[in-house]
Each structure stands twice: as structure tokens, then as C-alpha cells.
Amino acid sequence: MATSEGVPGGQGWQRQLYDWLANPLLIAIVGSLLVYLVIPQLTRGWQNHAKILEVKTGLVSDMSDSVGNATMSGRFIASGLIARATDDPNATQRAFNDAYQKWTIRSAVIGSQLAAYFPGNDLGSRWRSFSNVVTDFLQLSARGQRTDRTSQLVEIADYFPGLRKRGRAWWRVLLEDTGPKFQQNYLDLSQAILTERDRFVQRVLDSKATGF
């Protein structure tokens, strides 16, 4: 009776395959490929993924904090809370100067990071448009010259088409009024900005970072 070693599909080829795979030279070659090619490539992929997560986390955190601080500062200043809390006649101006300086610096840094890490899309230019609106909002709290306020409100209205539906009377309050109506409309405006901030944050999280 013939043994299975002489029959195709028997155990002879399995033994040969085992001997070939157990060859020390083959094992050394495969080990070298793993050490010098496969493992470093996997490691770089993991490191890049971790770096991307770190960059995105840092960016969205800076966006949330900087926009939140700017809008909150604007509301404090516009409401007169700072002026009523102290006898210092310059307290409100100093609070505005400090908030304005912090916002402009942080928004510029964020814009540079977006342009560097997301060069394949328009996040950088979108952020510049949005940051200009936040700046306008903050400047409205100071209630400066009428001509300046008009240009600021026009830029805000162009950015938020939904707010244009409020009508001229709503916008005129932001231009001229200093009472409770102004506070309510200014609050509505701050909520629109914070909602847009959240949308922008999500857009960054969903975008692919390639600037590494």
C-alpha cells in the first residue's frame, strides 16, 4: 500500500513547507523586515495619529476658550457691570483693552495654526471671517463712534444671514440704544456667535489635518 508521503495532497509537502519555514535564514530575513520596515511604519502611523489628535484637541480648546472669553467680556462691559463694581472711572476701558488684546492675539495664533495644519481646505480663511465678527461684537460693547458701529453691524449682518431677518428695528437698537433692549439684542448676538463657534469646532474635528 502506498504511503501518504507519495500521494499529492499527503503529508510530504507539509513537511517540506515546515522545513522551509523553519529555515534560520528565512527567519532572519523576516525578522529584519519586521524590525526595519513594518514595525517602524506602524509606529510612525500611530505617532502621526496621536499628533493629529493632540493638534485638534489643542485647537478646539483654544477656539472654545478664546471665543467664550471674548463674548463674556463683551457682555460684562456692555452691561455696565464693571463700571458699577468699582469707583475707578478707567476700569471699563482697561477691561476692554485687556479683552481686545487677548482676543486679537489668540485669534491670530489660531488662524496661523489652521493654515499650517489644514492647508488643503478653507478653514484658515473661514476663521479670519469669523474672528472679524467676534472682534466687531467686542467693539460694540464699547459703544464708540456711530460710523464705526454701523460698519461693525454691517459685517456681522453679512456673516449671519439669519439675523438679518430680525428687521431694521432690531439692528437699530444695537446701533443706538443703551437700555434693556440693547442688552437683550446683544445677548442674542452673543448666542449666535457661540453657536457658530461650536459649528466651527466640529468642522475642525471633521477635517483631515495634513500639514505635518
Percent of the residues in the chain that have a pLDDT greater than 70, as a whole number: 74
* Mean pLDDT (whole number) for 22-40: 58
Instruction: Write the pLDDT tens digit of every residue in 99-142.
Output: 999 999 999 999 999 988 888 788 999 999 999 999 999 999 88
- CB burial class (10 A; 0-12, 13-18, 19+) of residue 160? middle
Alpha carbons 171 and 186: distance in angstroms, whole number:
10
What's the whole-number mean pLDDT along residues 164-175? 89
- The percentage of the chain sitting over the pLDDT mark of 90, rounded to a whole number, equals 45
In a domain, 64, yes or no: yes
122: nearest Cα among 134, 136, 111: 111
Structural domain includes residue 25: no
Number of folded domains that form the chain? 1
73 occurs within a structural domain? yes
Which range marks the domain in which residue 178 is found? 58-206
* Predicted confidence (pLDDT) at residue 81 exceeds the cutoff of 90: no
Select the more confidently predicted residue: 105 or 148.
105
Average pLDDT of the chain is 81
* DSSP SS3 for 122: coil
